[in-house]
Each structure stands twice: as structure tokens, then as C-alpha cells.
Amino acid sequence: METAPNLLKSVVVATSQYVGHKIERNLVFLQRQIDVLISKTSRGCSLKFFNPSEVLPAECITCLVNIVSDPSTKSTLVLKCLLLFNNLVSDSLIRASLHEKFYLTPALVSVIRHHGSSSGDTLTVEALHLLQKITYGQRISFEESFMEDLLHFLLTHVAYPTTGFTQPSMGVLVNLTRDNFSVLSYIKNNENIADLARTLTKLLGDQPQTMVLFSLTLLLNVCSQEKVGGKFFTDTNAPRTFQMIFNMLMDADSGEVRKYAVDLMKDAMKVARLQRSLALYEYLDTCLEQTLTLLTTSSQDSAIKIFELLTTLCQEKEVRIKVCKAMLATFQIQDQKTFPNLAKTPLSQIADPLLATIHWSGQSTDTYGRTPLAALDLLHEIYEALVFSHDRIHHEKHISAVLPTVLQTLSVPLDGDNATIQRRCEAMVKCVKLLNTFCHDDSFLTLISKNVPHGVLNKLLCYQFEHNHVALKTSTQPPSDDWSTTGVDLVLHLLDLIGRLNSSSLEDLFMLVMQDTQVVPFLACGLGSTNRQRVQQTMEIIVLGAKLEGFPTVILSDALVYNNSGRDSQTSHSSSCYPTHPHKRQLIEDKENQMVLRNKPVNSHHGQDFPDKSDGDDSIQTLISSLNNSLAIKDGKMPELMAVYERSLQALQTKEQHLQDLLEAKTLALTQADRMLAQYRSRKGQDEAEFNRLRSLLIQAEKRCEGLQHGSTDMQGRIDKYSKEVDDLHTENRKLQEVAKMHQQLTVVHTELTEAHESLQKSHQTLRQEHNSLTEMHEMLQKHNTNLKQQYDLAMEQLTALQDERRKISTQLKTSEAKLDDSKKAALKWEYDYKRSEEERETMEMSIEKLRSDLTSSESKNKQLLEKVSQLEFACSQNEAKITSYEEEIKELKTEVHKHRQIAALINSLSGGQPSDASMSNASKTSSTKGEH
């Protein structure tokens, strides 16, 4: 199977052959190659091999665009090219490159202009459909030469509908009028605006959903001032229009319908009156719930549009509250065990809209494009509303749901081409902004401080310091897809986050970064920005950093002066020089958008940028002059200044070496191209020589045939004369004819052998030439190999020396780590003793306070007891007098009892030893009564 690079090469070669010689054979061959490429790029196939920033795909696209823009090209070939471009525009990067770098839009307009006269022409319809896809999301200036003719064609076929051109013309017109004041003013000043409004109103009837959306969009953006067009967006009809849009969003039969429905809602949200109408719409909660359910079942293209819709709805405060309420309605019943693996969990297993949004935000930007970025924007809106609200429920749950996905995004390595790094940096910026939003709440702040590793943040800062063009201060112009500005935003947001978090390690990191001179270009770029939020954030960071001792204030001021001087020179140069190249764009913004003037250069070497040498010399001279001026400063910051300038010189040297390598590669490619051209010319000469030889043989054969014809007439006469001799010589004639046949066969074989011998000789000569060139290349490669071996030996020696040094340093590091561990253990012991003493002191203080309170209460009780004691003493004195009297009486009674006992004993002895019961009972009774008394 043919590989993709070979296929692209074959398309380029076939295109060059067709352009050089427009014959039927070359046309058929080119169409066959384009058909193969169409099957290779059909829906579902990967388009990674068709990266427009590479040389071969860029050359292929350029050749095909030139064929499409050529009016003399046959319509069948143009249709093949349009089908190929229709497959390529499914990739967003290729679609943007086709419009911005390869200028396919003017080529399609020329196709429409030349083939759009016949109604329902297939080529024109395909060109309009392709133009609709390319112009989607692009803002084209009205100053382009083709705009007026294109708008006239579109308005004609929209105001007066035809069968085949109406729908794609409306789609292109919707794309051109979105956020483009100059195009809108041209259409509104057109004479047929009333007819256009009436036609659009009629198209709202029994039409496909796409036609209805196109009509509503044009009525809102173009015909809102007309009486017929504005009635659909009045206060009474706006709810019905909103309901129609939400219905089409839910019941969309294609991704295009959902895309334009979201765009229509976004356009409606730009009108303050419609914002209020949407906030008062009674069925908005139901519509939002139905829209959120799409997040768990949508594809990538549909999901990004739904995220954009919800983010746009959050611009209105009341609608934002409803969106957040609908998003957080079912979140509290989820299981927290699934949170760390949300990005890897299949979307079909996620039923909650918020978790589905977190799932989309954790996807790779390399695979899913801007979908994760849109999901992060929506999360920022949702959690910002949650943080600044009075609801303090499920804070830890929200952090545990979002934080793993955010940390996974921050841990993605920044490698690949510039477009890949740009998307990854944008995702990281949005993640850090989300963390900064959480830091406004104290409970969130403590949780983030515990869970965010400072190593990830330090790694991101170091990468920006080492690779960002702003930090390198290179004199060469950065590429068009440079990610330096996004990197500046990432550094500023990271510094803001590190300054907010409550962690000792992060505080140390913040101090080290703010004392480093590498952060100065980023702070200077932030202060010189035109974005108010970025300037404010940079000033807050500088206020925090200025409190430190080693903050490079002088270097920051020098960097600001350098940036301001460069900006002044740039503005003076731009005011004195105007672009004259026909392919350079001028994007003139309207009232609603700020005026921006930008030029897009066209490179003749397949998209490779080579900086002008004079610019590099000027930048070096300015660097030398600034170095001389800075040497006049005699203070303690001179080593830092010298370090900055040394890094700038090193960056210039590496850039120059890179450009030299690119130049050598380009010269090698040119020599290879010259060699291929020489081979092509030699083969062409051989073919022409072979053609001339065959033509001479044909002429000789024709002459021979004419001679044979004359001989046959003479022989016929002789046959008439010598009819009798014919019979005798008939046998000999047969023999001669057989000999003649053999001779003819031998002559044919001889001619074929001679032709084969000549061709072999020529191929032998060409092979000998190629062998000589290959031997020369082999000798060169051997020399280069010897040089590389010498360099390798030197590198190995250096490596061994570095390994010895590394071992020494590792031993020193181990000893220092052991000492550090001992000191840490001692510190921990001291901290433990200190905490224990503090706890004992606190317990003693509490016991003292208790004793004091008990003492006061005991004193009061003591007073009361003293009073009671005095009373009791008085009562006791009285009772003691009574007791003494009682004791005297008892003594008297005891004496009487003793007397009675003696009498009883006497009576007993008199009665003969047997006591009488009556006397004993009487004696006991008398004793008891006396005792009672």
C-alpha cells in the first residue's frame, strides 16, 4: 500500500505535469491521484499526515489551490479538488490554514463567479458548501477585493430563492455577517433589504431546520430594524423564538443544526432586551435541564457548542443562577470514589452533567481540540458562582471532584509543535484560573494548599523561563502560531496562585521565583499589556514581590524601558510604512470590536520563515547599545544584568545556528530538486530521440511500401506476358517467399536488438553517472562519520569526567542530607517538648483559675459556716446545761435502781432461792418507769 508522503509527492508531480502540459493523459493521471487522496482522507480516517505546517502537505495544498483558482481548469478536475478539500476541512487546524495561509476563499469565490450562472450547477453548489465550512468562525474584512461580488451573488440568491443555491448561500451569508460591522452596514444599506426580510419570513415556514436557523439568524443580525423582521424578537414573541431554538437544539438531526442553533442563541444574548426576556422566560429551567442532559450523550462537536451556549448564558446574572442550580442539582448523591478517574471513565457511564463536564475538561487537547477548554470555561463560571454565593455545602466534595482532573492537566508535558503547546498552555491557564477562583474561599484555600504539589508548579515555571520567546528575548520574529503570550498568562496566573496558597514550601518557591531575573520579562510583558485584568494581576504580583529583599526592581525598570522604546519604534515604523502586497490581509475592526491591523506574509519556501539579516544586525546593535548604557550603572545588581545579557546573546547564537541548519537543509533540498530536473530533462531528451527514430523508420516503411506497390504492377504485367512460365516457376516462387519471410523476421529481430542495445547503453551511462555521484556522497559521509567519531570520543571523555564529579557531589549530598535529617529530628524533638510544655502550662492555668473560683466560693461558705457555728455554740451551751441536769438525775436514778436490786436480792434470799414472778415484774416495771422519767 502506498504511504502518505509518496501519495502527496505523486499528487504534486501529477499537478506539475498537468500545469506544464494540459493534455488528456496528464489530466486523467492527476484525477486518479486525487481520487486516491480522497479515499485516504475520507471521513473517519486520520489526517495527521496532512499537517499544513510541514513542507510536503503545504506544497500539495498550494498546487491544488492554484488549480482551483485557474479559470481554464476543467470543471471535473475542480470538482475533484473540492471533494478533497471537503474531506480536509473536518480538521479545524487544516480548515483555518486553508483560509488564512493558502487563500482558498478567493479561489472558491472565483469558481462561484465563473460557474454560478446556471441554476443548480453541481460545481457551484459544492463550492458554496465548502465556502460555508471554511468561513465558519472566520471574520473576513469587507476590504477584500472579492467581497462585494460575493455579497451581491449571495443576496441575489437569498432574496430571490432558487432550488440549489439558497441554503448554502444563506449559510455563507450568516458566516460573513456574524460580528462584522462593515458587511452588516453594506447589507443594511442595500436597496433590496425589504425584499430580503420578506423572503426570510416566508422561509420560516415548512422548511428544514437549517433553513429556519439561517432565516432567524439573518432576521436578527440584518433585518432586526425592519418591521417584518423585528417582530420575531419583540417582548411578546421572544419566548416563542427561544422555545423554537431550544427545541431545535434538542431535536437536531445533524451537528450543523446544533452548531447554528447555539450561535443564534449567542447572538441573541448580545442584545440586552433579549437577555431580560430570556431571564423572565418561564420554561427556562426545564430547557436548561434538557440541555444539560445532552452533555452525557453528545459527541465532541456537539459538546463544545453546548459548553459555549451555557457559558454565554452565564453572562446574565439571573440566568447564571439558574444554570448553576440545574448543574448542581444531582451532584450531592454521587460517590466520591469515582472522582479521581473521571477523565478515564467512559462518558456512557456518567449520568451527572457536572461530572460529565469534569470528564470533558480532563480530555487531551491533542485529540479533542478546544472541547476541554470550553468545559473548563463552564466550570470556572459554575464554581465562581458557587464560591461567591452564601451556600457552603459540599465544599470538600467539590474539591475532590475537580482537583484530580486539574492536576492531571497541569502534569501534561509541554512538547510537540507550536499548535499543540498552545492548546496545552491554554488548558493549563484555565485550570490555574479555576484554582485561583477556589482560593477566594478559606475552606477551599486550605484544601488546595494541602493537595497541590509545588513540584508541578515549579516545573511549569521553569519550562516557561527556558523556552518562552518573551523570556529568551530573541531578535527573530516568532512564528505565527507562537504560544509565548499564552505562556505569559500561565506564568502570571501561577505566580498569583502561589502567592495565595498557605504553604511553607510554596512561600519559599514564591520567594525564589520573585528574586530570579528570569521572571522580569514576564512581569514587564504583563505591565505593558493592553488587557486591564492582566495589568492588574501583574501589579498585585509586583506588590507582593517588592516586599522581598532581592526583588530585581532595576532590571524590571530597564525591561519596561526597552519594551516601551521598541513599541514606540514599531508604531513609528508602522505609521510610515503601508503594506502593498496583494495577499496581505488588513482586518479593520468595527465599532463593536476594537480596530486591529495585522499583516500576513506569504512565504515562497513552503511556509518556512527566514528572518532578514538586516533585522538581526539591527537587533544586535540595539542589544550592544543597551549593554553599553547598562554598564554605566554601578551598583550591586551588575551580575544580574550581565546574566540577562549573556542569556540574550546565547539565545541569539542558538537562533543563528538553527537558521544556518535550516539554510543547509534548504540548499540540500534544492540540489536534490535540480538533480531530479536534470534526470527529467535527460529522460525527456531520450523520449524525443526515440520518437524521431520511430518516425524515420515509419517514413522508410512507407517509401518501401510505395516501391513494392510499383513492383507489383510491373509483376502483374509480366505475369500476363509470361503466364506459361509461371506454372514452371511456381515452386521456386514459394521457396523465395519463405526466404523473404525469414528475412523480414530477421530484420525485425535485428532492429529490436539494436534498439535494446542503444537503450541499454544509455541506461548504463546514466547508471555510471549515478554511481559516480553516489561514490562522492559516500566519501563525504565517511568524512562526516570520522568527524562524528572524534566528537563522540570527546563527548565520552567529558561524560566520564562529569560522572566522576557527579559521584563526588552525590557523596557530599548524602552527607549533607544525613546532617539535615539529624537536624530535622532534633527540631522535631524540640517542637514536641515545646508543645508538651505548652499543653502543661495551659492545664496549670486552667487548674489555677478553677482553684481561684473554688477559693472565693469557699470563703463565702466559710462566713456562713462561722455564723452557724456561733449559733450552734450558743445552742450547745444551753444543751450542755440541760445535759448536766439530766446526768445528775440519771445518777440519782441509778442509785435508786441499785437500792431496788439489793432489796430484790434480799427478798430472793429470804424466799429460799426461788424468785417470785410478781415481785420481779413489779420491780422491772418500777425500774422502767423511773428510767423513762
Rounded mean pLDDT, 251-263: 83
Q: Radius of gyration of the chain from Cα atoms? A: 50
In tens, the pLDDT along 641-665 reads 676 677 677 777 777 877 877 787 7
Decide if 417 contacts 483 (C-beta within 8 A). Answer: no
Could you tell me which of 455, 453, 431, 435 has the C-alpha nearest to residue 444? Answer: 435
Does the pLDDT value for residue 618 go beyond 80?
A: no
pTM above the 0.85 mark?
A: no
Query: Degrees (nearest 5) of the Cα angle 804, 807, 812?
Result: 130
**Start-to-end CA span in the chain (Å):** 140
In tens, the pLDDT along 459-491 reads 888 888 888 877 666 544 556 567 788 888 888
Does the pLDDT value for residue 270 go beyond 60?
A: yes
For residue 41, give the amino acid letter.
Answer: T
Q: State the pLDDT at residue 145.
A: 84
Q: State the pLDDT at residue 347.
A: 74
Higher pLDDT, 367 or 594: 367
Query: Percent of the chain beyond pLDDT 90?
Result: 2
For residue 385, give the amino acid letter.
Answer: A
The answer for residues whose C-beta is within 8 angstroms of residue 501's C-beta and 6 or more apart is 439, 445, 448, 449, 452
Distance CA 450, CA 797 (A): 46
Could you tell me which of 450, 530, 459, 448 has the C-alpha nearest to residue 490? Answer: 459
Higher pLDDT, 15 or 161: 15
In tens, the pLDDT along 126-153 reads 889 999 999 998 888 888 888 888 888 8
Distance CA 303, CA 294 (A): 8
Does the pLDDT value for residue 744 go beyond 80?
A: yes
**3 state DSSP class of 419:** helix
Q: State the pLDDT at residue 609.
A: 37
Rounded mean pLDDT, 595-615: 35
C-alpha cell at 512: 525564589
C-alpha cell at 16: 506539475
Distance CA 855, CA 283 (A): 72
Could you tell me the sign of the dihedral formed by the alpha carbons of 774, 775, 780, 786, in that order? positive
Q: State the pLDDT at residue 143.
A: 83
Decide if 82 contacts 130 (C-beta within 8 A). Answer: yes
Does the pLDDT value for residue 930 go beyond 60?
A: no
Distance CA 643, CA 278 (A): 58
Q: DSSP labels for 452-472?
A: S-HHHHHHHHHHHHHH-HHHH
Does the pLDDT value for residue 56 go beyond 80?
A: yes
Confidence band (pLDDT; 50, 70, 90) for 395? Answer: low
Higher pLDDT, 478 or 330: 330
Q: State the pLDDT at residue 584.
A: 34
CB atoms within 10 A of CB 759: 12
Distance CA 15, CA 33 (A): 9
Higher pLDDT, 191 or 265: 265
Could you tell me the sign of the dihedral formed by the alpha carbons of 159, 160, 166, 172, in that order? negative
Is 227 exposed, middle or buried, given 0-12, 13-18 or 19+ CB atoms closer than 10 A? exposed
Q: State the pLDDT at residue 436.
A: 87
Specify the range with the lowest mean pLDDT, choosing from 11-20, 199-208, 291-300, 875-884: 199-208
Residue with cell 499583516: 599
Does the pLDDT value for residue 317 go beyond 80?
A: yes
Q: DSSP labels for 482-529?
A: --HHHHHHHHHHHHHHHHHS--HHHHHHHHHHHTSGGGHHHHHHHHT-
In tens, the pLDDT along 885-927 reads 888 889 888 888 888 888 888 888 887 655 444 444 454 444 4
Q: How far is CA 815 from CA 400, 409, 801, 821, in A?
A: 40, 37, 22, 10
In tens, the pLDDT along 552-590 reads 777 777 777 777 776 655 555 444 443 333 333 333 333
Distance CA 100, CA 134 (A): 10
**Mean pLDDT value across the chain:** 78
Does the pLDDT value for residue 229 go beyond 80?
A: no
Confidence band (pLDDT; 50, 70, 90) for 640? Answer: low
Q: How far is CA 384 from CA 41, 435, 440, 893, in A?
A: 43, 10, 9, 103
Does the pLDDT value for residue 455 go beyond 50?
A: yes
Q: State the pLDDT at residue 599.
A: 33
Does the pLDDT value for residue 611 go beyond 50?
A: no
Query: Percent of the chain beyond pLDDT 70?
Result: 83
In tens, the pLDDT along 411-423 reads 888 887 778 888 8
State the chain's maximal CA–CA distance in angstroms: 226
The per-residue b/e assignment along 891-908, b for 16 or more CB within 10 angstroms, e otherwise, is eeeeeeeeeeeeebeeee
Q: How far is CA 481 from CA 96, 486, 581, in A?
A: 12, 11, 21
Does the pLDDT value for residue 874 go beyond 70?
A: yes
